Amino acid sequence: MNSRETQQERTMKKIIIPILALIILLLMVAWLAGSFNSKVRPGFEQPASTIVNSTNYTVIKSRERIFESIAASITAKQATIISSRLLARIKKINVRSGDNVKKGDVLIALENNDLSSSVIEAREQVNAMSARYTEAHSNFQRAKELFNKKIASQFDLDKSKADYQSIKAELTAAKQSLAQTQTTLSYATLRAPINGKVIDRFAEPGNTAQAGQKLLSLYNPLSLRIEAQVREQLALTLTQGQSITIDLPTIQKTLTGLVEEIVPAANTGSRSFLIKVSISYQESLLPGMYARLLIPAGHVEKLYVPNSSVSHAGQLDFVNVLIDGQSQRRFVRLGESSKPGFSSILSGLTDRDIIVTPQ
């Protein structure tokens, strides 16, 4: 009998224990799900302080001009390369990179001993021919007088005239030869063709200058301008003489330039036009520096709200919108603002929304 009761108790335990474990598990799941907590009905709570101690701002749509930023470079309108016309050794270079020069300053001196000797020789040749010319001219004048007096024959007159004209031609040739040698000698002294600044020098004293080889590069700082490749749709809206805003990030300045030239042929690879913009002189600007052209590209409608009405929660931005007398939180996406003290709203608000700003 006892053994039968013991077996029934064991059977009951096997049934009851899993049931109790299941009940406990269900109770734990219900507790974790918040079934035993008081429920709050979804909705917006209306704090009295938010409505009473607050200011309202009505969102108004504004129309603004937008600009497209075009990468550009600073270039020199007046720039030149100094090179030699002679094959000669460089005797002296008087400038280095960054030096300021004036038009006519001696930049480079080449060895010119042979050229100086040629000039002296040509000058002496002119002197000798001048003496012969004087003698031939006197003989010709004398022959004309004797011929008029019937003392000299026509043959003597013609001969003296031929000698005179021949020596005159030789004197002219000697003078031309002197001028040519003097010009060649002047090539040994390289002078600055413009007022400007030395960009770089590509040779040193003792080097042999080849004809056409660049030795120095110069530019005029007063002739700096901005050049940029502008896409054709935008470039065709520009006109010569139009004012353009120029951003110079390196020196943190903004200038106003004038469209100086629009090259009337598009780049077939990029479908863009070369635009050249003149600017006023800036001492801190150098050729090759980066700039940006801010070209008008139409209009856009923007919404603005005061900065004080925008709240932040981590990386999220939100404002309080007044709807049916209640303040409701609404998340917004901010954009770049051009209005001091106000934030630009890209999405989340519409025109005429009323923003509640707590005091």
- Render pLDDT for 193-221 as a digit per residue (tens, 0 to 9): 999 999 999 999 999 999 999 999 999 99
Flag whether 156 is in a domain.
yes
Determine how many CB atoms are found less than 10 A away from the CB of residue 72: 25
Among 273, 287, 256, 251, which Cα is nearest to 97's? Answer: 287
Q: Does 26 fall in a domain?
A: no
Integer Cα distance of 350 and 278 in angstroms: 42
Examine the domain organization and report whether 246 and 204 are in the same domain.
no
Residue 7 within any structural domain of the chain = no
Chosen domain end from 217, 238, 261 = 217
- What does the alpha-carbon distance between residue 126 and residue 171 come to, in Å, rounded to a whole number? 6
Kindly state whether residues 212 and 88 are assigned to the same domain: yes
pLDDT, mean of residues 134-148: 87
324 falls within a domain? yes
Q: Let me know whether 97 and 201 are in one domain.
A: yes
- With beta carbons less than 8 A apart as the criterion, state whether 96 and 217 touch: no
Residue 318 lies in a domain: yes
- pLDDT for the residue numbered 46: 44
Contact 357, 55 (CB under 8 A): yes
Whether residues 328 and 346 fall in one domain: yes
The answer on 247 and 231 residing in a single domain is yes
**Residue 39's pLDDT band (boundaries 50, 70, 90)?**
low
CATH number at residue 353: 2.40.420.20
- At residue 145, the 3 state secondary structure works out as helix
Give me the pLDDT at residue 50, please.
42
CB-count burial class (<10 Å; 0-12, 13-18, 19+) for 225 = buried
Residues 54 and 92 placed together within one structural domain of the fold: no
- The answer to whether 218 and 79 are in contact (CB under 8 A) is yes
| pLDDT, tens digit, 9 for 90 and up, residues 118-129 | 999 999 999 999
Map tokens 């004398």 to a residue: 142
Same domain, 200 and 116: yes
- Domain limits for position 352: 48-64+301-358
Judge if 244 and 353 occupy the same domain: no
Quick: pLDDT tens for 75-126.
999 999 999 999 999 999 999 999 999 999 999 999 999 999 999 999 999 9
Nearest by Cα to 197 from 73, 74, 76: 76
Which residues pair with residue 256 across a beta bridge? Answer: 245
Residues 258 and 228 in one domain: yes
Residue 22: band (very low, low, confident or very high) from pLDDT cuts 50, 70, 90: confident
What does the pLDDT read at residue 287?
92
The answer to whether position 27 is within a domain reads no
19, part of any domain: no
What CATH number does the domain containing 282 carry? 2.40.30.170
Calculate the CA 188 to chain-centre distance.
37
The number of folded domains in the chain is 3
- Asked whether residue 227 falls in the same domain as residue 211, the answer is no
CA 169/CA 133 separation, integer angstroms: 9
In-domain check, residue 11:
no
Asked if 157 and 209 sit in the same domain, the reply is yes
Which of 217, 232, 252 delimits the end of a domain? Answer: 217
User: What average pLDDT does this structure show over 297-304?
Assistant: 85
pLDDT reported for residue 44: 44
Residues 233 and 210 in one domain: no
Q: Which residue among 258, 276, 297 closes a domain? A: 297
Q: Are 139 and 146 in contact (CB under 8 A)?
A: no
Burial 300-326, CB ≥16 within 10 A → b, else e: eebbbbeeebbeeeeeebbbbbbeeeb
